[in-house]
Structure 1
């Protein structure tokens, strides 16, 4: 991916990028993630008169949401000899890339 960006004379600011991270978003472990999640939950709470409580059902739903993007129905195997298309987007807070072949997602990364 980086070589393709370089070939097209597109450059990433490495001080704003993190690659090949092994950890994911675990609720309650990282201060920024916790604040981000609670801020989102607080926003939606405005629309209901229900107190927000993190239950077992919430945790199960959260784990399912984290797992879905990596399961078989979404990602497909690449086909040898076929053309690839890379879509990328960068902002002040992150970088996202999707590798596609024949309009199907092969791999993706975001940070």
Structure 2
């Protein structure tokens, strides 16, 4: 085997290894590109979900604030009701006392 043949075989071997490394690196780049594309799709889905969650959260907050306002109004109504019932009970008690006094003055026994 001559030096020229050896250099040729060595250069062919190196070229074959170089081509193999290029093919492997292209496949790696293709896989990485596919993964990034899939990751981009997942991130886009997550962004859409976050947007929906944000709008749902805002709607829930609006409903909660409306409920708070309604509860405040209802609480005041309930408080007024309790006050009015107390007034009515006082009037009934006063009426009963007047009736008892009237009956006592008339001399009617219980």
Return the TM-score normalized by structure 2: 0.21
Greater C-alpha radius of gyration: 2
If each structure's strand is expressed as a fraction of its own residues, which one has the higher value? Answer: 1
Return the TM-score normalized by structure 1: 0.21
If each structure's helix is expressed as a fraction of its own residues, which one has the higher value? Answer: 2
